[in-house]
Amino acid sequence: MATKSVVAEVREITLAIELIELGARLQLLEAETSLSRDRLIKLYKELKGASPPKGMLPFSTDWFMTWQPNIHSSLFHAIYRFVDTHGGVKSTIQTIVKSYRLYLEHLEMHGDEPVLSLTRAWTLVRYFESGMLQTNACTRCGGRFVAHAYELRAGYVCGLCQPPSRAGKTRKAIASSGAAERAPGIAA
């Protein structure tokens, strides 16, 4: 019997380490592992060299509706649905971890920065499970995008097919386009 409890504890610690390395907040760790808060804080400090960030977890579905977060959330949710259906993963948290790693790999392949943190991805899945969010199909591209549950969206057009007027005008994008314009002899 003692061997099973040691094995279970090792699994919990391994999961906590994996979650911390992916940027999980303390509340997520407490919800998904059976380790004590003190133990999780010590583990976090050991891995990150600092105390875990303080503050509340995201609690509103509205963040997922804004342009860029909606695109990233929709991408992650599509990956999550695929892994959940075909990935052979037993637990929800392992499905989230596997999906989040695939999300990060996809962004790295395309040279994009992640918008969705692991904690936000975990929260997104919980919102879907509780029925607060659903997906709507874009009438132009057919893609499925995160939306508020029970929202009537006849003729829905996604943020990729019809981006807002200031889409992509981040400080980073403006700075990099300004550097390209100033560099002589570089074709755009």
Residues in the annotated binding site: 138, 141, 158, 161
Tokens found for residue 179: 């550097």
Binding residues for Zn(2+): 138, 141, 158, 161
